[in-house]
Amino acid sequence: MVYDIYAMYLCDWYRIKEQNRRHSLIIFRNFLSKNRLMITHHVAILLVLVPIAQRFRGELGDFFVGCIFTAELSTPFVSLGKILIQLKKQHTLLYKVNGILTLTTFFSCRILLFLFMYWSYAQQKDISLFQVPFRIPVFCNVANAFLIAPQLYWFSLLCKKAVGLFDTPPAEKDG
């Protein structure tokens, strides 16, 4: 998580330094302001989720740690997309294929993952999937709601970007 934040900052720093010669402190403050949600997400995982997951190691704890790591499967595709943008390769086939892979892995590994965890619990306890939220502790449902909310937001942003990527330019629609 620390590496992710640092890598995001470095990308921002190099991009802005290329455009103009602003002071590093100003760049850092702008980075914090512009990426508040992403930084909060990474810090929360590092300071809250990782220690909690370590406390529950063994039995079900390892299952949840595995799910947390599975959620990161989409990260290389997100990162490749950002690299391709910086290299001005947004109009290549690689960028489009990567976009499809990003959407697919993000949806399955960051959104459907929550449904899979509830389904797994239902299978283990031999209950209906719809009974799970009422059988697990309230804090688990609250924690999952806090975890999935930013995932849904980021997925909606990815979808908007994908629509723009695959949408036909206005000049071609008219002619």
How much is the pLDDT for 71? 85
Rank 38-52, 120-134, 135-149, 155-169 by mean pLDDT and report only the highest. 120-134
pLDDT higher at 112 or 2: 112
pTM given for the model: 0.71
79-105 as b/e: b if 16+ CB within 10 A: bbbeebeeeeeeeeeebeebbebbbeb
* Per-residue pLDDT band at 38 (split at 50, 70, 90): confident
Residue 79 identity: S
Structure tokens at 94: 């690689």
Per-residue pLDDT reduced to its tens digit, 84-99:
888 889 889 999 999 9
How much is the pLDDT for 37? 79
* Per-residue pLDDT band at 57 (split at 50, 70, 90): low
Q: Domain residues of the chain, as ranges?
A: 1-56, 58-166
Contact present, 92 and 84 (Cβ < 8 Å): yes
How much is the pLDDT for 33? 86
